[in-house]
Structure 1
Amino acid sequence: MTADLRDYRGSYEAPADFDAFWRDTLDAAADHPLDLNLTRVDTALRTIDVFDVSFRGFGGHPVRAWLRVPRHRDGPLPAVVQFHGYSSGRGHPLDDLLWPSAGYAHLLMDTRGQGGAWAGGNTPDPVGAGPSYPGFMTRGIDDRQTYFYRRVFTDAVRAVEAVRAVDLVDPARVGVVGASQGGGIALAVAGLAPDLRAVHLQAPLLCDIRQAVRTSTDGPYLEISGYLGTHREAAATVFGTLAYFDGIAFAQRATAPAWFSTGLLDQVCPSSTAFAAYNAYAGPKELRAWEFNGHEAGGSLDLEIALDAFRRSV
């Protein structure tokens, strides 16, 4: 199976105006000042400082994040921007201490409108949308301009700009990471933000989307098939919108060294979709396929690989 997947590229083709769409989207975001604010958070941690962060994302809307940095530091730090999994938020100030413990400035971005599941969030999405299936995958899906992930991907690019504007950070040494939805967001950023040093993508969502909708049996893609089950004439419109948000297109435009992982038993983000993004990726790349794992992929072993890779690259 893995041998066949090594050559799998899917059938996705980017729209002719893909680059123009994203250029216009990011140019519109740049019209709003970043308005970066950091407020120190009092914690009982002895080796890590935590800051409550806000910056302006899509439409000038405020986006929240945590910035965690090693307390004992000498000069500007390399930085890692992390994007979290589907429906969760930035969580508690004491969560996610891996990257600052390893010596990085670590920015964990809220995903707007999410944070009602296993980790809380603090960033609303003030943009309305038309009819959608419960969840986030179909919000605004009848038009690329209104689709939910247009706002999220823009927020994420602005998060990289935000961390580069922090005095504690070396702006030339920034990488991005994420698992599941976070991996899909990180891959989009890799294709949109310049001069990243490294990318880690664990079981990424939003790759080879049409194939994923056909083959996944659990998780967010079922929202799209559920929506199309009642909006039977909308398939062309839906997949026309999603073509502007597919990780394969961003992979084709990304050049930073990247480490992918996937579980061959993944029913949420089928492993074929991770291979399709990996095979399209334009920069240096490695992929670890875990034969007997599902959506968790390699779990902590993936993080161990990422720490070693980022140590050499960022």
Structure 2
Amino acid sequence: MPLTFDLPLEQLKTYQGINPRPADFDAFWEKSLAELSSIDPQVELVPAEFQAPFAQCFHLYFTGAGGARVHAKLLRPTQGNSPHPALLMFHGYTGDSGDWFDKLGYVAAGFTVAALDCRGQAGLSEDTGGVTGNTLYGHIIRGLADALKGSPEKLLFRNIFLDTVELARIVMDMPDVDPNRVGATGWSQGGALTVACAALEPRIKRIAPVYPFLSDYKRVWEVDLARDAYKEIQDFFRHSDPTHRLEEAVFEKLGYIDIQFLAPRIRADVLWGIGLMDTICPPSTQFAVYNKIVAPKRMVIYPDFAHEPLPGLYDQIFQFMLGL
């Protein structure tokens, strides 16, 4: 089935994105990582009510950027070899880390599993706030007003990206985990966080992002898909810049949290899932990221599928991660 709203597949394979990249992008993220390293994570493990015969299940809490207490589900096998591999899981936009049950397959295969709750969304993580402008909803634009005033470190997704790094570091430091055998996966927002985590923590060895969010914001605007997951961009313009006087500056500041610019830092092997009918995270915005990855990579393309379950992909990801 031909694409009706985005670029033809042959053009997608070379598309490089149109969102502006901040001139100090690399320095911004190096400074952010240095800040993260200065924070005592104060890790706390609390046994969960849910347990399984072959798994220990915990609520994991740590302190992230801005002093927020961040939560993740942690499951580890009760038997098997140590050190063993681990998998980081990241959830979709507005959601949470999900049930314990859907992580047990990896635990049964000998993995420690850590599933993050994004701060300020449906899970148990804390959002410490502290920004000006719209906070009714919309994490893409949270802190954008401050970024336009010269403080891009206020962008909420900057802190969420750093939370993925801190979680990876905590898991890698666990005595029963092999830090050289850690992977990450997630769908939509979770796919974006998978990319960000592997870019900012280069020890990650395998990643499986599926139709990731948070890329090439200006392209989303250009193809008139600033709705659904990206609707808050339109809301920002309508409420804070109705004549688009600041349009170029807005997209440039969003560039700090555009995963396409993090992609060249990835050293992990990549298995990427995409549906070419995806109007939530348009294919061109995904290829803008994928085409910048220089590590080994493979894309699984579903021509007739949108932002929805992709048959057989969970199985492929499981088999891929067993290679850790």
**TM-score, normalised on structure 2?**
0.89
| Corresponding residue for residue 5 of structure 2 | none
User: Does 1:248 find its partner at 2:255?
Assistant: no
Q: 1:23–1:217: structure 2 CA closer, same or farther, 3 Å change rule?
A: closer
SS in 2 for 1:97: helix
Alpha-carbon offset, residue 266 of structure 1: 0.7
1:55-204 to 2 correspondences below 5 Å: 55-115=62-122, 121-132=123-134, 134-142=137-145, 143=147, 144-204=152-212
Is the 8 Å Cα contact of residues 33 and 60 (structure 1) preserved in structure 2?
no
Give the distance between the partners of 1:189 and 1:91, measured in 2 at CA: 19
SS in 2 for 1:280: coil
SS in 2 for 1:242: helix
CA RMSD of the aligned region, Å? 1.8
| Corresponding residue for residue 277 of structure 1 | 289
Alpha-carbon offset, residue 13 of structure 1: 4.6
Letter in 1 for 2:73: W
Is the 8 Å Cα contact of residues 137 and 220 (structure 1) preserved in structure 2?
no
Give the distance between the partners of 1:82 and 1:90, measured in 2 at CA: 8
Is the 8 Å Cα contact of residues 67 and 128 (structure 2) preserved in structure 1?
no
| Corresponding residue for residue 226 of structure 1 | 235
Give the distance between the partners of 2:95 and 2:116, measured in 1 at CA: 11
Letter in 1 for 2:91: H
Percent identity for Structure 1 against Structure 2: 30
Greater CA deviation, 224-233 or 76-85? 224-233
| Corresponding residue for residue 47 of structure 2 | 40
Give the distance between the partners of 2:222 and 2:231, measured in 1 at CA: 9
Is the 8 Å Cα contact of residues 263 and 297 (structure 1) preserved in structure 2?
no
Is the 8 Å Cα contact of residues 188 and 213 (structure 2) preserved in structure 1?
yes
- The number of residues matched between the two structures is 307
Give the distance between the partners of 2:173 and 2:48, measured in 1 at CA: 19
Give the distance between the partners of 1:107 and 1:213, measured in 2 at CA: 34
Is the 8 Å Cα contact of residues 41 and 64 (structure 2) preserved in structure 1?
yes
| Corresponding residue for residue 239 of structure 1 | 251
Cα deviation 1:228-269 (Å, max 9, x = unaligned): 133233323321211111111111221211111111111110
Alpha-carbon offset, residue 176 of structure 1: 1.3
The higher relative CO (CA closer than 8 Å, separation ≥ 6) is in: 2
SS in 2 for 1:145: helix
- Runs (4 or more) in structure 1 with deviation over 4 Å come to none
Q: 1:229–1:42: structure 2 CA closer, same or farther, 3 Å change rule?
A: closer
Is the 8 Å Cα contact of residues 266 and 294 (structure 1) preserved in structure 2?
yes
Cα deviation 1:144-189 (Å, max 9, x = unaligned): 1211101101111101011112222111211111110111111111
Is the 8 Å Cα contact of residues 263 and 293 (structure 2) preserved in structure 1?
yes
Greater CA deviation, 254-263 or 2-11? 2-11
Alpha-carbon offset, residue 39 of structure 1: 2.2
Alpha-carbon offset, residue 273 of structure 1: 1.1
| Corresponding residue for residue 309 of structure 1 | 320
**TM-score, normalised on structure 1?**
0.92
Alpha-carbon offset, residue 44 of structure 1: 4.9
* Structure 2 unpaired stretches of 5+: 1-7
Greater CA deviation, 260-269 or 90-99? 90-99
SS in 1 for 2:257: coil
Is the 8 Å Cα contact of residues 202 and 297 (structure 1) preserved in structure 2?
no
